[in-house]
Structure 1
Amino acid sequence: MNESNTLSLENEAGFKALFQYATVGILVVSSGGRIELSNPAVEKLFGYEKTELTGQLIELLVPEGFRHSHVHHREGYFKKPKARPMGYGLNLFARKKDGTQFPVEISLGHYQLDNESLAVAFVTDITERQRFNDELEAKVKERTLELTQSLEREKELNDMKSRFVAMASHEFRTPLSAILSSRTLAESYTKAEQEDKRKRHISRIRASVKNLTVILDEFLSLDKVEQGKVEIERETFDLYDFAEDLVEEVNGMLKNGQHIRFSYNGVRNITQDKKILRNIMLNLLSNAVKYSGEQQTVYLDIDADNDQKKVVIRVRDEGIGIPQEDQKNLFNKFYRAKNATNIQGTGLGLTIVKQYVELLNGDISFISEPNQGTTFTIEFSLNHPGHENDLINRGQ
């Protein structure tokens, strides 16, 4: 045996060993689309015996929905055969004997044997890789979402900080300036006949200090609510008397010619958190006064419905109203409508009101038209104790 024959036998033995023991599936297909050879890896991968594959059309291993198009692609390959991946950029699937479909990666090659064109397909099951890729993609999406949300929260916090600084610098400067100027003027009025002027500036100082206290109270209230430090303490009380006292308190804030029209209908005794309800109503009433002009009316209507077991409170004004484009942001922290920027306020009041209403398991809504006024409506459970309530239907 000469050296050439020895090399030929060695090459043939090497090919057979490679074909037999390769972990990737190998198929040899004729130009007519028939399977000529299959290695054990293919038989294991697809669940067929060797005798079941030999001579069969290669489309046997293709999902039924793709068989027709595969014939077209196969014929096209044999017209211009070259080594390349199959279906580049596409998701390829193969079909097992039991009908199961699974993702595959296929590389194609070709050679001539006795003037017959043959194609070699190297088939790899990429189910695990696909699962890993899917899991990786899901994790990337999850982390991207978390990062996006984190960036949005950071942006929101930065925006909120900017609004806070702008608001605080404005809202604190005004009363502090008033305090300083009034103090200087009050000290200059030393004569007895200047007593009235001195008292007027002392009153101005007190009002400014009260305004600062209100601003600080709003910050503290919001912080307590957001940290869950507000405890609900329900008690039974006369809602009509409670509302009358509030109206009397707000009367001290009225502008020239303003007045509050109060009407009440329903049962008098309710069980709720009196302190929280006071903060809600006082804020809404003082806002109605603040955003209304002189000679205008503020309306407070309360309906304590024993049949529906709920209380409905409406506070309506005839003031500047809220522009349509600002209404969606009205309960956001530090938000001021564009037509209210020259009116004193922190932009926290309605945020606190909404959270207080939610603590009462209630709802708050509003309707508003610019230059026609605004109506706020809050609803919450009557939660009465069950003893006799006096019915009242009166207005003033």
Structure 2
Amino acid sequence: MTEHKLGEEDSRRLRALFEMATDGIITMSTQGVIENVNQAACELFGYAAKELRGQKVNMLMGEHDRAHHDDYLHRYHATGQKHIIGIGREVIGRRKDGEIFPLRLAVSEVHLDGQTIYTGILHDLSEFKRAQRRVEELNTELENKVEERTAALRERERELQKALSKERELNELKSRFLSMASHEFKTPLSTVLSSIELIELYKETTEQPKREKHVTRIKDAVLQLTEVLNDFLSLSKLEQGEITALPRLIDLRALVATCVESSEGQMKDAQRIILELAEEPKLIVSDPKLLRHVLVNLISNAAKYSSPGQEIRISTGRRQEQCFITVQDQGIGIPAEDQVHLFDRFFRARNVENVQGTGLGLNIVDHYVKLLEGTVEFTSTLGKGSAFTVLIPLGPEQI
């Protein structure tokens, strides 16, 4: 009698523990038929206990496990190979309303009174998964913010490097300018001063030729200063965007002839210009003022860096939809290592340091040609000469 009462008491306690458990508990036969469920399992899946007892447990599983559950059991019974039994794992559950959700499932095998039953303990992972996804989202947001901040810092670093590089460039240009200006202004001003002092000494009428000689020197020095100031003025206007191209129809031969005539004062003794002007193009559409500045500058350079008696050859022609104008000399040429900097402001090749010049001429030429929507090409061999070719569009009417 006492043993019977103790048995009933233990049974009630076990039943109470079974029902009070916060995780879902399901017991089933070896065929996967549900024998018992606790209240937590009913609430978890949305079924009443009576709806589940006697049903196959795979009704509570996701599509994949539901379709393969019987195969799992058959394989386990035949081979003893465990797929879920004795191994905790994450699975997908399916509620009565069809909603699927993540579960932590632990299945144990119990042998009782000669029978085998399976007990599954199920823990809803929905909140955990939501929290996990939120953590992942926060991590992603944080990574994105870090990447954005890093990108911003890198961009800021690039801007600072660019500003620093610009500052170095400006300081270098300033040094070049001061060095150039010191030479280009000091030399002609010294010439003017010494010539004036000498003129004051020539008081006799018979000394007029000497006075005229020094007056010519003064004029040349003033012209030299004017050219320097004109280069500065042109560069300033270019940088401020005050110079624009005003294209119109141009007679190319006439323009070249005008440029040659304007450059006669730059020629050294016995230097001569040879023209090789092709029949086409005769007419182009461009800005005559800018193009004239370009050609006069190139012809002046050719004369300046060539010896007396050497030839300067000017040729024109058509290259597809462009007009080319080439100015070729037999002068000192440009050192190969200096050619990459040839169009930089204030840059002068190392073999022309004793020749008058601001280092702005080719930089201005490059600016003007770009305004004409063209390009400048050049070839040069040290000691043999240089050839500069300007390529500009013919203009729509001439194509």
> What's the offset of the Cα at 1:235?
2.9
Alignment match, 1:292? 306
Q: Which of 317, 341, 362 is the equivalent residue of 1:303?
A: 317
Alignment match, 2:390? 378
Alignment match, 2:324? 312
In 2, distance between residues paired with 1:143 and 1:35?
Answer: 52
Aligned residues: 285
Identity value in percent? 40
Classify 1:195/1:152 alpha carbon distance in 2 versus 1 (closer, same or farther; 3 Å). Answer: same
Q: Which of 283, 287, 297 is the equivalent residue of 1:273?
A: 287
Residues 316 and 325 in structure 2, CA contact (< 8 A), matched pair in contact too: yes
1:294-350 CA distances to partner (integer Å, 9 max, x unpaired)?
221111111257xx4432100001111111111111000001111111111110000
Residues 331 and 351 in structure 1, CA contact (< 8 A), matched pair in contact too: yes
In 1, distance between residues paired with 2:101 and 2:321?
Answer: 77
In 2, distance between residues paired with 1:325 and 1:103?
Answer: 59
Classify 1:35/1:211 alpha carbon distance in 2 versus 1 (closer, same or farther; 3 Å). Answer: farther
Alignment match, 1:168? 181
1:263-288 CA distances to partner (integer Å, 9 max, x unpaired)?
11124333321111110000000000
- The structure showing larger relative contact order (alpha-carbon pairs under 8 Å, at least 6 residues apart) is 1
Q: Which moved more, 1:248-257 or 1:130-139?
A: 248-257
Q: Which of 347, 352, 375 is the equivalent residue of 1:340?
A: 352
Alignment match, 1:77? none
TM-score by length of 1: 0.66
Alignment match, 1:53? 104
Matches within 5 A, 1:246-257: 246-257=259-270
Residues 287 and 372 in structure 2, CA contact (< 8 A), matched pair in contact too: yes
Classify 1:309/1:169 alpha carbon distance in 2 versus 1 (closer, same or farther; 3 Å). Answer: same
Classify 1:36/1:212 alpha carbon distance in 2 versus 1 (closer, same or farther; 3 Å). Answer: same
Which has the larger Rg?
2
Q: Secondary structure at the match of 1:135?
A: helix
Alignment match, 2:217? 204
Q: Secondary structure at the match of 2:285?
A: strand
In 1, distance between residues paired with 2:318 and 2:223?
Answer: 33
Residues 196 and 214 in structure 2, CA contact (< 8 A), matched pair in contact too: yes
Unaligned segments of structure 2, at least 5 residues: 1-21, 23-86, 91-99, 108-127
In 2, distance between residues paired with 1:132 and 1:384?
Answer: 52
Classify 1:135/1:296 alpha carbon distance in 2 versus 1 (closer, same or farther; 3 Å). Answer: same
Residues 283 and 398 in structure 2, CA contact (< 8 A), matched pair in contact too: no
Classify 1:101/1:161 alpha carbon distance in 2 versus 1 (closer, same or farther; 3 Å). Answer: farther
Aligned residue type for 2:303: V
Q: Secondary structure at the match of 1:216?
A: helix
1:210-268 CA distances to partner (integer Å, 9 max, x unpaired)?
11010010011011111111122223332212212221232222212211111111243
Residues 269 and 384 in structure 1, CA contact (< 8 A), matched pair in contact too: no
In 2, distance between residues paired with 1:245 and 1:363?
Answer: 22
In 2, distance between residues paired with 1:317 and 1:103?
Answer: 74
Aligned residue type for 2:334: I
> What's the offset of the Cα at 1:148?
0.7
In 2, distance between residues paired with 1:103 and 1:349?
Answer: 65
In 2, distance between residues paired with 1:228 and 1:125?
Answer: 50
Q: Secondary structure at the match of 2:194?
A: helix
Bigger proportion of residues as helix? 2
In 2, distance between residues paired with 1:367 and 1:191?
Answer: 54
Unaligned segments of structure 1, at least 5 residues: 1-15, 17-33, 38-47, 57-95, 105-123, 388-396
Alignment match, 2:226? 213
Q: Secondary structure at the match of 1:328?
A: helix
In 1, distance between residues paired with 2:135 and 2:336?
Answer: 54
Q: Secondary structure at the match of 1:252?
A: helix
In 2, distance between residues paired with 1:236 and 1:385?
Answer: 9
Q: Secondary structure at the match of 2:266?
A: coil
What is the alpha-carbon root mean square deviation over aligned residues? 3.0
Does 2:273 correspond to 1:222?
no
Classify 1:53/1:362 alpha carbon distance in 2 versus 1 (closer, same or farther; 3 Å). Answer: same
Q: Secondary structure at the match of 1:315?
A: strand
Classify 1:360/1:190 alpha carbon distance in 2 versus 1 (closer, same or farther; 3 Å). Answer: same
Residues 251 and 259 in structure 1, CA contact (< 8 A), matched pair in contact too: no
Classify 1:138/1:268 alpha carbon distance in 2 versus 1 (closer, same or farther; 3 Å). Answer: same
Alignment match, 1:239? 252
Q: Secondary structure at the match of 1:233?
A: coil
Q: Secondary structure at the match of 1:279?
A: helix
